[in-house]
Amino acid sequence: MLAIVAAVVFGLALLLDLADYSSEILNLQWLTVLGLLVLALHLAGVGSNFNWRDRGSYSRRRR
C-alpha cells in the first residue's frame, strides 16, 4: 500500500515538473522527499501484516 502512495507522490511531482508549476506550499523538492520517505517506510516493512511477537511460536509449532 505504501509503495502505491509513493508512486502517486512521484507521479504528482513529475506532472508538476512537466507543467512548470511552482508554489510556496507544494514544491518538487518537498514531494520528492515525501515520496522517498514513504518508499523507505514500505521497504522497512511498515504496514505489513507480520506479527513479530508470534514469530518464535510459529517456528516452534512447525517442527
Q: Above 80 in pLDDT, residue 3?
A: yes
Q: For residues 5 and 10, what is the distance between their CA atoms, to the nearest angstrom?
A: 9
pLDDT at residue number 15? 93
Q: For residues 6 and 20, what is the distance between their CA atoms, to the nearest angstrom?
A: 21
Q: For residues 16 and 1, what is the distance between their CA atoms, to the nearest angstrom?
A: 23
pLDDT tens, residue by residue, 12-22 = 999 999 998 88
| The three cell numbers locating residue 56 | 518464535
Which pTM does this prediction carry? 0.68
Cell numbers 517456528: residue: 59
Q: Above 80 in pLDDT, residue 23?
A: yes
Q: For residues 42 and 50, what is the distance between their CA atoms, to the nearest angstrom?
A: 13
pLDDT tens, residue by residue, 29-49 = 999 999 999 999 999 988 777
pLDDT at residue number 6? 93
